[in-house]
Every structure is written in C-alpha cells, then in structure tokens.
Chain A
C-alpha cells in the first residue's frame, strides 16, 4: 500500500492551499493523467527564497546580492550558507532598523548610503541585486524603484565623470551585452526572496526573472537553444558537448557564468528548463518571444534522454541520429548505476517537501533504481513546467503499477512526521532541521540541500545521484558500537 492512497487529514481540515505560492491557477485535487497530486496546508519546514543566493552568487561570479531585510534574514543566510560565509562572500544584508521603519524616505536614503559604502568596498561588482524580503515587502519598500533610482544616479555620475579628463578607462563589457551600465558602474536589479512569496529554490526563479529584461536581442533570424537554470559548470560542459554532437546550436546557458555575458533571447530562442522551479523566469523569457519546449528534466538516464530528445525534436533531427549520439553516454550511465541499483532496489523512501526536485528524483529512484516511493512531498506543483515529466512519472513499468507514488503538495510538517514515523521508510529525504531528530529515532535520512548543491543532472551524474542515496544506507550498515 502506498501512503498516497490514504487521504491526508489536511484534505478535510487543512488551510486552503493553492498551487505555487506565486500562482493560484491550479485547482485543488485536479489531477493530470494518472498522477495523483494532493494539496495540504499548515506549518512549513523549508527555507525561503533567500537561500538561493548561496548557489547563485557562486554561479554569477561578478554579482553581489544585497538582502534588504531584518536580522532574521541575515542570520538565516549565514546559517544556510554555513562556512562559505567566511570566504569573502558576495552577499550581505542591509539590516533594517527601527528608524528605517518609521519613514520610508529615510529608508531609501539609508539604502543609497549602504549601497555606496558597499560599492566603495567592492568596485569589482558588475551587477548588484537588491533582494526583497518579508519585512521589506510588508513595509512596502519598493526595491525595483530603488534599483531604478540607483541606476539613474550612476548614469548621471558616469556622465559627470566623462566630462572630466584623466578618469580611469572603464572595463569594457563583452560585445553584444547590455547588462553593464556605463563607465563600469554596476547595474542594479531587484527581485524578491521573501518567504511570503518564494520557497527555497524559487529564489532562483525570481532572480532570473529580474535579469530577463537585460538580455540582449539575438541576431535576426537566429535559431538558438537557451538552457535555463543553474547547473554546475561541469554539467554545462557535458551538455554543450552533446548538443554539439547532435548538431543543435548555438546553445547558451542562463544564468551565465558572468553577468557581463548575458545570453540573447528573442523569437528564435527555444527554452529548455534544467530546473523545475523556474515558472516565472520561463514566462518572462516567453514574453520576449522565446518558445518553451515541453520536456522532462535531465535527472537520471531517462529524464536526460527525454530532455535531449525534446530539443532534438524541435530541431527536426531524426530519432536514429539522436539515439546514435545518446546511446553511448546512456549505456555508460546505466553501467555506473547498476551497482547502486543493487543496493537501493526494494528500499522504501519518503520525501519531505523542500527543494522542488522531489518528484523528479523520486521518479528516477523508482524507475531506474527500483526503489519504492512512499510519498514525494513538493513545496508546490507547477503543472505547466511538469508537463514533460508527467509522461515519465505516470509511465507504467514492468513490475510497477502506473503512477505508483503519490505527490503531495505543501503539507504540515507535524503531520508529515506522523506519516513517516508510522511508515518507517528505509530512507527519508528532508531538510537539515529534521535530519538529526529522525536519525535519533532510528530513521536513516538524506539532507535534501545536498541535492541542490551537487551536480546531479545528466548522464554522467546519474550514478552520483544514486550514490547520494546509497551512502546513508551504507553508513548505517557499517556503524557498529
């Protein structure tokens, strides 16, 4: 029996839960194809979107993230980022104080002062993100306006500088980019990482959305592929090679490694999402004329195969040619995966909602590692983005009943704990706050945050992904006291 077949109590008594905290489109209990998704409300145990800064600042190497929020935001960020904070981080918090709350005019003046001080200290910054938070939203401090104001001020300053001789020559932006403001002064953008609007990985969505208006237009008539979502550099390079072999190109990645080299977007651009939490960014790119390809996500061999196949189809490539290119890496991945499958097969796993990757990883663990999925909790379920996944998710496999695991959206952490305690899965995937308490109860856990920070996408990483789940099982088996 799977847990999803038991209607959770929240169906009756839970707080009204909609789809994504950002969207109120998906009706409750509606199901696509054979995939059951239930909605729950209640106490959440997940990071807010500010956590995205932890990986975004590593990817976008010439940007700085200035969170405008409370001491809680600063404390959250350093707790989530852990020791990384000590290595001259490219993020900081402008902590609002009592007098900032009293008058917004003063808050704006204060913000300008803080930004000026920051830029004096970090003249190397090309793009400065003002990151909105719960308190900045509640006091209605408009960071988009603040960004505009700062950009205008920089522009005026640049013009003033240009009239004076002996000014240092500003660093040149890369050809074809528009993201750098005049005279090398940083471009200022704003987005929200507030917990009122975003959950954990959605911070990347709102950040990328803010960058979209700055993307240049492509050369007329160019047909290109834009891969959207942060990937490890090593994964990007693997993907680039496969696209080149397939004859798909030009291929660009968003976010790019440098905010000075933003990829172009326009009517000839096809979008392939690499992450399942980029609904707003995708919409913004579509508004620029790009076309969103329906594809599964490149998790596991089948997901990756389907992901490339979608792009190949859009490029009108013959299926046998695609197979000829993908067969070798897929076979190699299958070989690498085999020994973990042996270890994971038949093991029961449950996911707490956290990173938004849960449904994809559950699909991989079920279909390629033969694990039994008790429940896959997701913070929210975006049907539009999941359209390409649903085919895979609800695919009937020999020995597996179709749609054999339940996807639960949202949920109350105490009730989820009850469920997990009753079912006692072999492995529970959860956030850092829950892992040790569950281990202390004898349940083996896997931290979900590692799934966000590790390269797990693509053929070559399929076995690495499986290994992340095998390791806690191996560890528990090894320990003897």
Chain B
C-alpha cells in the first residue's frame, strides 16, 4: 500500500486513452465503474481538445455486479461500434474491472464485430500510465503489422532511386509535454536536410497509417518512454533501424542530425546535416541576426557565451521529471549553460537505468521515486538555485522561494501554450533558454543588486525563503533512504543534513555583530551563507559565530 498525496502518473488505462485520443479512427471501450469517466476532462480541460476523447465506458454499478456483467460489456461494445464505427476497437479495463476478471476482451472478440478488436489487458495494479501508453502503442502496432512481417532474415528492399530518405516520428501522444510543437520542430529540421517524414504516430495517425510504418527507411524515437519498445520491435521484425538521440538541446540536436544522416545514408542529406549542425555553433557574428535563412539558426550558443550569462556559471540546478526530459535537461544545464547539476531524478522506475548512469557522470546518486514529498525533501536538502521539474516541483520550488521552470509532464494546462513552443531541435533550444533563464535574476540585475545591496529598494525579501523551510520539511518527512538522497556533499557547498529536533541544541550561537554582518549579504544568498557558516562552525566546535567566523567560512567555501 502506497500513501499518495499526489501522483505523477495515473493508471495504465489512462496511458491507453492518451494513445487512443492522439490517434484517429481508434476507439477504446473501457470496462470501468461509474466515476472513471473523469479521464475525459483531462483531455478536454487540460489539453483543451475540442472533441471528446474516443472512449466509451461500461459504467457498471453495484446492481450490475449481482448479475453477470458480460451482457453489459457486450451491449456497450455493440453500441460503441454502431455509434463510432472505429477502424480499431481497443478494449481496456480499469483497476476495478480487472478485479472482476470479466474477460472483457474475449467477450467483445466473440461478438464478431467487423473491425479488429484489440484487448489491452494492461496490469493496472503493478504498472502505471506512461508504461500503459508505451505498451498500448506497441500492441497496436504489433497487432496490425504482424501479418505483414517478412520472413525472418529477408533483406530490406532497397530504396527506390530518386526517393528521398523517409523516417517515421514515433512517440508523441495526447497530453504529452509539448508533443504537438516538437513534431512541427523536428519535421522542419528534417525537411531542412532532405529527409521526408513518412508517418507520425500515435499523434494524428490512423490505423492505416500504422500499416505504412515499415515503408520508411528508419524510425525516430522521439519519446523513448512511449516508443522505445515499438521501435525495437520494428527493428527486429522489419529490420528498420532507429534514431536513439533525442534532439533536446544544441548538442543533442547535433547528435540527432548526425544519427539521422548515418541512417539516411544519402550524400546530400549528410552534407546538409553537417552544414546545419555546424551552423548552430558558428561564430557569433551572424547568429540570430540573419533573416530569411532557410534553416533555423539557434541563439542559445551565443547567448550562453555572451558575458551577460557569466552569472549562470556554477548555479546549482535540481532536475526532476520524466527520463527523456530530465536527461536532456542535465546535459543542457551542464554543458550548454555552464550551470551545475546538483540533483537528477525521475518518477519513471522503468527508465531508472539511464538516469542512474547520467547521474553518476555528475557525481550524483539519481533520485528514483514517485513520492513528491521525497522529491521535496531532496530539493530542500540540495539547496538549488534553480529547479527544473514538473508542475509539482514548480509548487515545491514556490514554497521554497527558488526559481523554477517546468520541463516535463504530467500535463498541466500551462504546458499547452497558445504559441509554438517546442522543446526539440534548435527552435526548442531557444525556447528552453528563454524558459529556464527567465525565472532567474538576470546577470546585470544580480550584479547591480550586489553593488547596491545597502539601498532600501533592495531590502524586500520573499515571504518564504529556502532558509525557512528545510527544517520543517524534514520534520514532516519520513526519513528518505540514504541511497536515494542525491550526493550533494561532493562539491564545495555542503548540504546540511536535515536537522532533527534534538540536534538543535548543538547549533552555534550568532554574535550580534556577525548577525548584523550577515544581513548585509543579499537575501538570495543569505540563507546559504548562514547555513555554510553554521556548518563550518559546527565542524570546528565553534560555539559562537563572530564576524571572523563568518569570513573564515566564506574563505573556506569560496565563491
């Protein structure tokens, strides 16, 4: 039994509905009690979809359980087929329906409806939403394409002469984080190097489009959480290679272009991809100022090099989200913005391995948890200056008084902006620069604040600061297992372990003069200065912190 105040993921059938809703011509009959129809409002309210999601519910109630629910399922399936005439009918079961073991899938298959009926049988008591989405897509592709699989070992037919290389974009679904805009951005990127987008799926695809998947030369796995298993199956079955690089960030987009060019295996594409990749990091002179250019030239590299961005150097960043976005964010933060990753994690257990590997590169232990209270405690303990997370981390950061940008689902109405705001490709990199840097105090502004910190205008402090929270968070928190806490002691700014109530007595006392000196430090670094000094004093057994201790600690910790 898991105590959940808030969850990052819904049940598996929610994942199935996100795939069905993304597609056209697919309908899902969900065997579920009355009340489970709340799922509709996520699509119509959060994503503002103008149509109802393609799902019908059996809406069983107590009185139905006395008799057989089989008739109810069959009746609902017939009515659903008659009304919606889908090209494929998915049969799902919600958590409660799975307990009833009604075999809804077999019952509907037995009706002999004139369309393919695909029972999903997603284990709703052991898996979650994202896995459910990936599995639904995989099963749908497999069910439709298996009859067309070539004999094992048969060579892939060669591309027709004059036919440009074709790629499928796999993974975007409904309620996905910026999927809509990523598809546009990646399609433009591919068009710029002469690669045709053959099928985009699940988003906007019909079942008949899935039948065309094997025609493409290769697949592009945009969101590994959703499309990895399908890409792997297509590779095994149709010898279709796939691009693993996810083009989020400048470096990742350059890797992506190189991988696409390798799989496209076409001199023109290779040349165009190389040219485009190089232009992204070309000298600053023309970047961003050329108008009417054929391909989008990103501004992130130059903005990051400009002296104004110096203030970003070494800023402590805590990253949490789905694996794809968290991994990409870590790379951007570390290499492209010159900040420092002090926490990296995901709520997706299935993707723990790559996140653990990446975290190790940054000298961290990855945080793999679906308990947001644990994430909150880790954020508080690692004293970040910027949090990149989901909407939940945005709320946590707000409470802690730390700037935050959202990098990943679960979906929130704010994640569907009216403007084109991709995360992928060079366009996406610029969106990311603006979105992440925006919440931070700008370089010049920060510099001026330091210069004029005595001025009363700068005296205002946020009501709740990071300084005020860690202790309370620690009290309300069951102790997190030590191996899950990100390693924040490796660097020069030590993390103070959450204070237990009985430890408080050992705290050094502040001399009034030192306390006064502390107040001269700008409020946004004051908390850190206080903690560091106290930690310094505690380690050395200093009972009273004087002005001297303050400056000794400052010299010790640098910065």
Residues of chain A touching chain B, judged by Cβ–Cβ distance below 8 Å, are: 15, 18, 21, 24, 42-50, 69-76, 78-80, 85-86, 89, 92-98, 100-101, 107, 110-111, 113-114, 117-118, 120-121, 133-135, 137-139, 194-197, 199, 413-414, 431-437, 439-440
Residues of B close to A433: CB separation below 8 A: 37-41, 44-45, 52
CB A312 to nearest CB in B, in angstroms, measures 39
Nearest neighbor of A24 in chain B, beta-carbon distance: B63
Residues of B close to A100: CB separation below 8 A: 1
Given that A117-B478, A134-B33, A138-B96 are contacting pairs, would A436 and B50 also be in contact in the complex, using a CB cutoff of 8 Å? Answer: yes
Residues of B close to A440: CB separation below 8 A: 50-51
Contacting pair A21 B44 (CB below 8 A)? no
Given that A98-B126, A101-B99, A436-B49 are contacting pairs, would A44 and B94 also be in contact in the complex, using a CB cutoff of 8 Å? Answer: no
CB A116 to nearest CB in B, in angstroms, measures 10
CB B181 to nearest CB in A, in angstroms, measures 20
Contacting pair B1 A92 (CB below 8 A)? no
Contacting pair A43 B56 (CB below 8 A)? yes
Residues of B close to A431: CB separation below 8 A: 41
Point out the residue from A15, A69, A437 that lies within 8 Å of B51, measured CB to CB: A437
Residues of A close to B6: CB separation below 8 A: 78, 85-86
Cα A113 to Cα B2 with chains together (Å): 10
Contacting pair A139 B7 (CB below 8 A)? no
Contacting pair B44 A48 (CB below 8 A)? no
Contacting pair B96 A121 (CB below 8 A)? no
Point out the residue from A80, A197, A437 that lies within 8 Å of B62, measured CB to CB: A197
Q: From A75, A76, A117, name the one whose CB has the most chain B CB atoms within 10 angstroms.
A: A75
CB A309 to nearest CB in B, in angstroms, measures 37
8 smallest beta-carbon distances between A and B, as pairs: A48-B35, A195-B35, A433-B40, A440-B50, A70-B95, A75-B10, A110-B1, A134-B96
Cα A117 to Cα B48 with chains together (Å): 38
Given that A114-B3, A135-B99, A196-B61 are contacting pairs, would A48 and B34 also be in contact in the complex, using a CB cutoff of 8 Å? Answer: yes
Nearest neighbor of A78 in chain B, beta-carbon distance: B6
B423 at the interface (CB under 8 A from A): no
Could you show 19 A-B contacts with beta carbons less than 8 Å apart? A15-B75, A21-B34, A71-B4, A71-B7, A73-B95, A75-B7, A75-B38, A78-B7, A79-B41, A86-B6, A95-B1, A111-B1, A121-B476, A133-B96, A135-B96, A138-B100, A433-B44, A436-B44, A437-B52
Residues of B close to A50: CB separation below 8 A: 35
Cα A399 to Cα B299 with chains together (Å): 69
Tally of B interface residues using CB under 8 Å: 57
Residue interface bits B12-42, CB-to-A below 8 A is 1, else 0: 0110000000000000000001111111111
Residues of B close to A107: CB separation below 8 A: 1
Point out the residue from B44, B76, B94 that lies within 8 Å of A43, measured CB to CB: B76
Cα A69 to Cα B124 with chains together (Å): 12
Q: From A110, A435, A436, name the one whose CB has the most chain B CB atoms within 10 angstroms.
A: A436
Residues of B close to A78: CB separation below 8 A: 6-7
CB B471 to nearest CB in A, in angstroms, measures 15
Cα A98 to Cα B2 with chains together (Å): 11
CB A81 to nearest CB in B, in angstroms, measures 10
Cα A365 to Cα B441 with chains together (Å): 53
Cα A101 to Cα B395 with chains together (Å): 34
Residue interface bits B54-74, CB-to-A below 8 A is 1, else 0: 001111111101000000100
Residue interface bits B491-513, CB-to-A below 8 A is 1, else 0: 00000000000000000000000
Residues of A close to B10: CB separation below 8 A: 71-72, 75
Given that A48-B35, A76-B36, A134-B33 are contacting pairs, would A70 and B41 also be in contact in the complex, using a CB cutoff of 8 Å? Answer: no
Cα A137 to Cα B100 with chains together (Å): 11
Nearest neighbor of B57 in chain A, beta-carbon distance: A43
Nearest neighbor of B65 in chain A, beta-carbon distance: A196
CB A69 to nearest CB in B, in angstroms, measures 8
Contacting pair B1 A70 (CB below 8 A)? no
Contacting pair A97 B59 (CB below 8 A)? no
Contacting pair A114 B478 (CB below 8 A)? no
Nearest neighbor of B13 in chain A, beta-carbon distance: A72
Residues of chain B touching chain A, judged by Cβ–Cβ distance below 8 Å, are: 1-7, 9-11, 13-14, 33-42, 44-45, 48-52, 56-63, 65, 72, 75-76, 79, 83, 94-96, 99-100, 124-126, 128-129, 392, 395, 476, 478
Point out the residue from B44, B56, B57, B128 that lies within 8 Å of A434, measured CB to CB: B44
Given that A76-B36, A86-B395, A94-B3 are contacting pairs, would A70 and B50 also be in contact in the complex, using a CB cutoff of 8 Å? Answer: no
Residues of A close to B395: CB separation below 8 A: 86
Contacting pair B50 A95 (CB below 8 A)? no
Contacting pair A194 B33 (CB below 8 A)? yes
Cα A333 to Cα B155 with chains together (Å): 81
Point out the residue from A18, A70, A196, A439 that lies within 8 Å of B11, measured CB to CB: A70
Residues of B close to A43: CB separation below 8 A: 37, 56-59, 76
CB A344 to nearest CB in B, in angstroms, measures 26
Contacting pair B125 A70 (CB below 8 A)? yes
Contacting pair B62 A196 (CB below 8 A)? yes
CB B259 to nearest CB in A, in angstroms, measures 36
Cα A414 to Cα B55 with chains together (Å): 11
Q: From A79, A114, A413, name the one whose CB has the most chain B CB atoms within 10 angstroms.
A: A79
Residues of B close to A133: CB separation below 8 A: 96
Q: From A44, A72, A440, name the one whose CB has the most chain B CB atoms within 10 angstroms.
A: A72
Contacting pair A42 B41 (CB below 8 A)? no
Contacting pair B126 A437 (CB below 8 A)? no
Cα A196 to Cα B62 with chains together (Å): 5
CB B347 to nearest CB in A, in angstroms, measures 13
Residues of B close to A92: CB separation below 8 A: 3-5
Residues of A close to B11: CB separation below 8 A: 70-72, 75
Cα A383 to Cα B9 with chains together (Å): 41
Contacting pair A196 B38 (CB below 8 A)? no
CB A356 to nearest CB in B, in angstroms, measures 14
Residues of A close to B392: CB separation below 8 A: 86
Cα A101 to Cα B196 with chains together (Å): 50
Given that A71-B95, A196-B61 are contacting pairs, would A47 and B76 also be in contact in the complex, using a CB cutoff of 8 Å? Answer: no
Contacting pair A195 B42 (CB below 8 A)? no
Q: From A18, A71, A110, A139, name the one whose CB has the most chain B CB atoms within 10 angstroms.
A: A71
Residues of A close to B45: CB separation below 8 A: 432-433, 435-436
Known: A72-B124, A97-B1, A114-B1. 6 other contacts (CB 8 A): A43-B58, A72-B95, A75-B11, A86-B6, A414-B79, A436-B45
Residues of A close to B61: CB separation below 8 A: 21, 195-197
Residues of A close to B50: CB separation below 8 A: 436-437, 439-440
Residues of B close to A138: CB separation below 8 A: 65, 96, 99-100
Cα A133 to Cα B83 with chains together (Å): 31
Residues of A close to B42: CB separation below 8 A: 79
Contacting pair B37 A46 (CB below 8 A)? yes
Residues of A close to B40: CB separation below 8 A: 45, 432-434
Given that A72-B95, A414-B83 are contacting pairs, would A94 and B34 also be in contact in the complex, using a CB cutoff of 8 Å? Answer: no
Given that A21-B61, A121-B476, A432-B41 are contacting pairs, would A72 and B94 also be in contact in the complex, using a CB cutoff of 8 Å? Answer: yes
Point out the residue from B4, B75, B125, B126 that lies within 8 Å of A93, measured CB to CB: B4
Cα A440 to Cα B1 with chains together (Å): 42
Contacting pair B59 A42 (CB below 8 A)? yes
Cα A434 to Cα B42 with chains together (Å): 11
Residues of B close to A69: CB separation below 8 A: 95
Cα A437 to Cα B52 with chains together (Å): 6
Q: From B6, B56, B72, name the one whose CB has the most chain A CB atoms within 10 angstroms.
A: B6
Cα A123 to Cα B6 with chains together (Å): 20
Cα A305 to Cα B45 with chains together (Å): 38
Contacting pair A96 B3 (CB below 8 A)? no
Q: From B44, B56, B83, name the one whose CB has the most chain A CB atoms within 10 angstroms.
A: B44
Contacting pair A46 B51 (CB below 8 A)? no
Cα A138 to Cα B392 with chains together (Å): 32
Nearest neighbor of B84 in chain A, beta-carbon distance: A414
Contacting pair B35 A76 (CB below 8 A)? yes
Contacting pair B35 A71 (CB below 8 A)? no
Contacting pair A21 B4 (CB below 8 A)? no
Residues of A close to B72: CB separation below 8 A: 15
Contacting pair B65 A135 (CB below 8 A)? no
CB B332 to nearest CB in A, in angstroms, measures 27
